[in-house]
Every structure is written in structure tokens, then in C-alpha cells.
Amino acid sequence: MEMADAYPDVVIGCAGGGSNLAGISFPFIADKLAGKTNTRFIAVEPEASPSLTKGEFTYDFGDAIGTTPLFKMHTLGHTFVPNPIHAGGLRYHGMAPLVSALFDAGVYEAKAYHQNACFEAAILFASTEGIIPAPEPTHALKAAIDEALEAKETGEEKNILFHLCGHGHLDLSAYDNYFSGDMVDYALPSEAIAEAMKSVPQIG
Ligand SMILES: Cc1ncc(COP(=O)(O)O)c(C=O)c1O
């Protein structure tokens, strides 16, 4: 950003376990917590695996079979079985404890999208920038496009920084699926979350 002689007004990353989001946003969050800036931070997840937008902030295991220590994090329950969306890296049941704590403190906003909307954004990006994104960052991309469209509407000038955390050269079958019209948007029933949340250890 220094090379571009700019500072972001909004920082956006997709969020599976939270690592790429933390990498792109923590340095700017440090500035915000020091009271120097007023940047917004957006974590974007799939509707099919919504640990921030629909999970609970509690102690849970980091793995599916319950062998790790307990972490305080946003979780859908460690036995949660996600639908087979193309963004395989975003299907984790939990979220990094530091990202979870910052979300709980109101530093991160979070939003969730269905995969068809994300691939529509990816096609626009690939046709305009010549880069094919991996299915995971298409979520960040969709949120970045939405921010840009909103700014266009309000006439506000905004520096939007989003993290393109992987290319999609090995995900062309997902694009084929999208173009064939076979891509499914999975709505996650609240009963499925409630069932998996029963696996969360009771601490008391
Ligand atoms: C390209 C890509 N982006 C994002 C993720 C999600 O992980 P994280 O949220 O920890 O960055 C993965 C995970 O496999 C990935 O492969």
C-alpha cells in the first residue's frame, strides 16, 4: 500500500480458518486499535460454512474428532459436516481464536455469500484483470465488488484492499460446473448447526 501511496479504507479477506484474513488485516488493525485510522475489516465466508455469521463464540475442539486442546473461537460445532462447495478451504467448522476475538470485539464485520454469486464475481474479475481466482478468494472478491458498487452509488471515494489468496488454475472443473449451470447454492438449515453444536464440550 505504501508503494501505491495509499491506505485502505476497507480490508477484505475470505475466512476459512482465518489465516489469510489475519495476514492481510492484522497490520492495519494494529493502526486502528492505536486510534490512528478508521479502516473497516470484512471477513467473508460461504453460506454453507458460516462460523462467524451463524456460529457461537465458545470453547471447542479445533479438529473434527476432538483431539486438540479447546480453543475459544466461533464454531459451528466440531462434528459439523459441510456441504461439498467448491471453496474446500472455507469448509472448516471453526475460526482462528484471534480473528474470533476481534470479531466479538466488533473490529471485524462478517458476511456470507452463496457460491454462484461468488463465481459470477470471479468471471467479472477474470475477464477484466486476466487472473482466474481460486474458489476461496472469490468470496472476498464478491464483497470487494459489492463495496465498490456501493461507493459508486454514494459517490464516496474508497480504497478497497482485498486478498487474492490463491489462483484457480487447479479449479477449472469448478468453473466448468458454474458455466454448465450445475452449481448448487447450499442453504444451511439451522437444525444442522444445532445438531453439530451439541458436540461442543460443556464447560462449567
Ligand atoms: C486458496 C485458499 N484460500 C483460503 C483458504 C482458507 O484458509 P484461511 O481462512 O485459513 O486462510 C484456503 C484453505 O485451504 C485456501 O486453499
pLDDT in tens, 111-134: 999 999 999 999 999 999 999 999
Q: Whose CA is nearest to atom 7 of ligand 1?
A: 16
Q: Residue 143: which CATH number?
A: 3.40.50.1100
Closest listed residue to residue 148, CA positions, set 128, 176, 170, 169: 128
Residue 188 domain flag = yes
Establish if 203 belongs to a structural domain: no
- Inside any domain, residue 4: no
Question: Does residue 1 sit within a domain?
Answer: no
| pLDDT attached to residue 22 | 98
Q: Is the CB of 90 under 6 A from ligand 1?
A: yes
21 CA to centre of ligand 1 in angstroms: 9
pLDDT at 97: 98
pLDDT at 103: 98
Name the domain count of the chain.
Answer: 1
Over the stretch 50-87, which tens digit does the pLDDT of each residue have? 999 999 999 999 999 999 999 999 999 999 999 999 99
Give one DSSP letter per residue of 15-38, joined into a string: -SSSHHHHHHHHHHHHHHHTTS--
Residue closest via CA to ligand 1's atom 16 equals 89
Tally of CA atoms within 13 A in the half-sphere of 54 that contains its CB: 22
Q: Is 85 domain-assigned?
A: yes
- Give me Rg for the CA atoms of the chain: 17
Q: What is the pLDDT of residue 188?
A: 86
